[in-house]
Amino acid sequence: MRVPSTLASFARSVTLPSSGGTIFLYDAGSSGAPGLLLVHGLGDEADTWRRVIPALTERYHVVAPDLPGFGRSPLPPRGGLTPSLFIAVLAELVEYLGMRQITLMGSSLGATLGQALAVRHPETVSRLILVDGGLLQRARLNAGMLLGLLPGLGERRYKRLAGDLDAAYGSLRPYYANLDALPLAEREFLRERVAERVSSLSQMHAYFSIFRSFAGWLIIKGRFLSRRARVLPIPTLYVWGELDHIIPVETAQATFRSHPGAALAVIPEAGHLPHQETPWEFLRVIDQR
């Protein structure tokens, strides 16, 4: 996977002693600055933050990993992919890098993992920024996602995209308010990146492995973690794209109302990935809250 030129100087890999897994990450900014851990969502990778990392390094020591099995991080050496594994890997990564009292910013699934990490390791997280995700109330899977839970069916649909790169690129449209309005360089990058994803059997395995285990994990642990998250004395900011078609802003509003002390910022003209679609407004919002 090609590393964006603006991030190339920040790229490195580490091998974690306990998990034994190798993690690709961007490590940027002064090590003496406040720590900021960026966690991407399902089927994405650390490059999702490419339009905001350079600006964030002015204030933070930024660490943005590819989760195991995604992007340039290989599948773990043992066991399947589960939310519990991802949370353990993130906790170990923070400890391995010597980060303390971090701000944790997660996108979609990454927001859920970040909130769960804060519940389990509240001494590690000093602030949460949850971008179009988290331990939500009233979240619902759409029909396409429900079909993806069925073993074999989701994989067949995924593999068909490898033979039709226009369709693969088109599959990104629900994640943006207006995919066609992105700068040309961004659209070309996304076309290249989605082509790499759908042609990778290991990333397909990672996608469905974590997606299916995540559904069961939420049923078993989601309500308990959600209750715990809402009473944590950790400043929490929900950031949502007003035109999110994946998790509508109404879900964020319902969750926000049940979370005493939290703040909610809704970004106009943005979809599920406001840090990609409206990066300057996104940076303004998180800087002011």
DSSP track, 76-94: PSSS---HHHHHHHHHHHH
203 in a domain, yes or no? no
* Stated pTM of the model: 0.94
212 in a domain, yes or no? no
189 in a domain, yes or no? no
DSSP state of 34: P
Question: What is the pLDDT at residue 150?
Answer: 61
* Torsion of the alpha carbons at 149, 155, 156 and 157, rounded to the nearest 10: 70
- Nearest Cα neighbor of 145 from 85, 86, 208, 193 is 208
| Cα 184 to Cα 43: distance, rounded to the nearest angstrom | 22
Domain of 275, in residue numbers: 5-140+222-288
**Residue 158: both structure tokens together:** 């995924």
123 in a domain, yes or no? yes
Question: Can you name the residues that pair with 15 across neighbouring β-strands?
Answer: 22
Provide the strand spans (E) within the chain. Answer: 11-15, 22-28, 35-39, 61-65, 102-107, 125-131, 236-241, 263-267
| Alpha carbon distances (Å) from 233 to 37, 43, 134, 229, 230 | 19, 31, 16, 9, 8
Q: What is the CATH number of the domain that holds 130?
A: 3.40.50.1820
172 in a domain, yes or no? no
pLDDT along the chain (289 residues), means of 10: 92 91 95 95 96 96 97 85 94 94 96 96 95 79 58 80 93 96 96 94 92 88 89 95 95 91 95 98 89
Query: For the chain, what is the domain count?
Result: 1
111 in a domain, yes or no? yes
- Nearest Cα neighbor of 230 from 220, 222, 218 is 222
58 in a domain, yes or no? yes
Q: How far is CA 100 from the centre of its chain?
A: 21
Question: What is the pLDDT at residue 283?
Answer: 97
48 in a domain, yes or no? yes
Question: What is the pLDDT at residue 222?
Answer: 86
**Residue 185: both structure tokens together:** 């360089």
User: Count H helices, E strands: the chain?
Assistant: 12, 8
Question: Can you name the residues that pair with 263 across neighbouring β-strands?
Answer: 237
